[in-house]
Amino acid sequence: MVIVDTTTELTATLTDLEYLDQNHGLSLALQWNFTEITYEGVLPLMMVYDGEWIKEAFVKNFPIFTNRRQLALGRALDSGLFSLEGDHWKHTRKTLTPEFSSGKLKKMMPEIQKAMKAFVNLRTNDKEKAVNIRRKVDRLTLDVISRTAFGLESDAQTNENSQFALNAVRIINGEGFNTNLKEQIRLAIATVIFLIVPAWLIRKISRYAELGILTVTNTESLAHFENLCKSVIESRRERGGDSSNDFVQTLADNIVEAPAGHPHTLTDSLGLHWTKDGLTENEVIGSALLFLLAGFQTTADTLSFLFYELALHPDIQQKLYEEIRTLFDTDEITPEQLTQAEYLNYCLNEISRLYPQGFRFDRVAAEDVTIKGIFVPKGTVVVASAWVLHRDPAIWENPEDFDPDRFSPERFTDQCSNSFFPFGIGNRKCIGSRLALVEMKMAVVSVLKSFVIERCEETPSRPLQFQATIAILPAKPIMLKFGKR
């Protein structure tokens, strides 16, 4: 894995994890036994840690860096926005963008509010008890997704055995995966295939065997949500158009067919059929599944880390509470109130800087190109590390500290702005970022209006240690208390 450090004009031959550990204090248990990698499987990789270079490549040269590396996620997910390329991606992105407009988010807020009230009511029973905050917030975000994506009042928060919640957690975390010898061999073979076989070929093979990244171990759980989407779509068809605001039901109005051979049917670079007349049912289902998978764990983990840091920094928590008490003086939270909550925004930015859920993201060069003196051959996967940039002491003062005021206008410099990528960058940044921010802000307001977040004996100390996974997850559960307000 070639690391290009354009800040010091240094090209190193360290693995990504070694670089993070040696230069930025990230200590992951995952150890790779090689010191020089120029390819990941069959793909040439270039690691770049310079914000201005990344913007030059991914924003100004977007036509060259339009696509992500090809992945075979499996089933309908391969028709979701994350995996699509070229004109097919542009059409789908354009169709989905109105679903996350300010007006649409405002209509979603009452349903989000219901989930927040349920969360607060349940935490009343937890007063003075040590709770695993991640497990509780997991269920909250799943409740929000159930309401906003599928138009369903799920039992995610109230039922430990909720099928909606259990299947979602199983897909993300692999919980409940059968680890017998047969399944282990299957997973090992699939891993090798992912590294050496092109994604387009894996997709063709997947028509006959479940070989997608998320279907090797999660076929039943993915099928559960695909069937749920189909039932919501069918319900919409039976009722006809109505005033539903949830994601799947409104997208159902755009469903069209794209049969092979039809004059309006196009075929993309991955062999998928699509049409500019609307979205196919598979595209709607894939988009809904991506909504679930991208919006569930990332939002929950960001909130968990924020509650953790607020518990460890009671002075910051009190300052945030004072703003909330002043601005949010009504039972219902409004968009106008959220816009005025300046310090709340600082806190969310700071937690996203410290613990970026998308801690690395990539684009593939469609042609040979030279960016700021660095030559990138066609087909190279350029990987940007938000984690490194977010903790670079040359950019951020005392980068390991939790300091929301660093995002105040007086301290947030152009260099900081060029090195802050909480939701990715450019036209392919997270389409649901505004919804995620609204949800997180409403959660923080709802909780701090009712409780003081406190540390307890089981609360892990800073700096946190992390699991050996591809996500930023704490090695030990984050245990906190909800104290009386």
Q: Per residue, what are the HEC states of the chain?
A: CEEEECCCCEEECCCHHHHHHHHHCCCECCCCCCCCCCEECCEEEEEECCHHHHHHHHHHCCCCCCCCCCCCCCHHHHHCCCCCCHHHHHHHHHHHHHHHCHHHHHHHHHHHHHHHHHHHHHHHCCECCEEEHHHHHHHHHHHHHHHHHHCCCCCCCCCCCCHHHHHHHHHHHCCCCCCCHHHHHHHHHHHHHHHHCCHHHHHHHCCCCCCCCCCCCCHHHHHHHHHHHHHHHHHHHHHCCCCCCCHHHHHHHHECCCCCCCCCCEECCCCCEECCCCECHHHHHHHHHHHHHHHHHHHHHHHHHHHHHHHHCHHHHHHHHHHHHHHCCCCCCCHHHHHHCHHHHHHHHHHHHHCCCCCEEEEECCCCEEECCEEECCCCEEEEEHHHHHCCCCCCCCCCCCCHHHHCCCCCCHHHHCCCCECECHHHCCCCHHHHHHHHHHHHHHHHHHEEEEECCCCCCCCCCECCCCCCCECCCCEEEEEEC
Would you tell me the crossing angle of helices 133-150 and 433-450 to the nearest 10 degrees?
A: 130
Instruction: Determine the distance from the C-alpha atom of residue 84 to the mean position of all C-alpha atoms in its chain, rounded to a whole number.
Output: 17
β partners of residue 363: 382
Does the annotation place 456 within a ligand binding site?
no
Can you tell me the distance from the alpha carbon of 431 to that of 99, in angstroms, rounded to the nearest whole number?
9
Residue 136, token pair as written in the block: 């509780």
Residue 345, token pair as written in the block: 């925004």
Cβ neighbours of 442 (radius 10 Å): 20
Task: Show binding-site residues for heme.
Answer: 430
Task: Show binding-site residues.
Answer: 430
